[in-house]
Amino acid sequence: MNIAISAAGPTLDSPVFDEFRRTPFLLIVNVDTMECTSIPHAAHEGSDTALADTVLEHRCEALITGKIGEEAFKILADDHVTRYVGSGLTAGMALEAMEARSLKLIRNPDGSDECNENHHEVEELQVCSGHTH
């Protein structure tokens, strides 16, 4: 299983970058082997959608990051890529936290897990604040 991580550097010791579209590196980690592929990234107009496409090309089941632009968010959500907040952790620590189910989900492009009707279009069932959509 592959997991994508927006990172400030090219290794699992690098901090998770808090904004998907501006990330200097996209790490693709095979969690079965812990093999890590580092993809350098230069931010430019439309680069967030290109990054989202890269996540899909590598068949990643999840993305660990911070804020995600609306267009990239929609691309990832439409393809059922689970999105997690990893800001404040190293990439390796974020992977461990994800495995322990202690990372917050990103339900909105601003990086929050607050209930917002935007995610209702792309995900069939959501539970927010105790109610089901």
**Would you state the pLDDT for residue 72?**
95
Q: Span 112-117, mean pLDDT?
A: 58
CA separation for the pair 98, 115 (Å, rounded): 21
Q: Which residue in this structure is represented by tokens 């496409």?
A: 53
| CATH code where residue 34 lies | 3.30.420.130
For 25-53, the pLDDT digits (tens) are: 999 999 999 999 999 999 888 889 999 99
Q: Give the range of the structural domain holding residue 52, as residue numbers without chain letter.
A: 2-132
For 85-113, the pLDDT digits (tens) are: 999 999 999 999 999 999 999 988 765 56
For 50-75, the pLDDT digits (tens) are: 999 999 999 999 999 998 999 999 99
**Would you state the pLDDT for residue 116?**
52
Number of structural domains in the chain: 1
Q: Give the CA distances from residue 40 to residues 9, 11, 97, in Å, rounded to whole numbers and listed in that order.
A: 9, 11, 24
Nearest to 64 by CA among 107, 21, 20: 20
pTM of the predicted model over 0.85: no
Residue with more model confidence, 12 or 114: 12
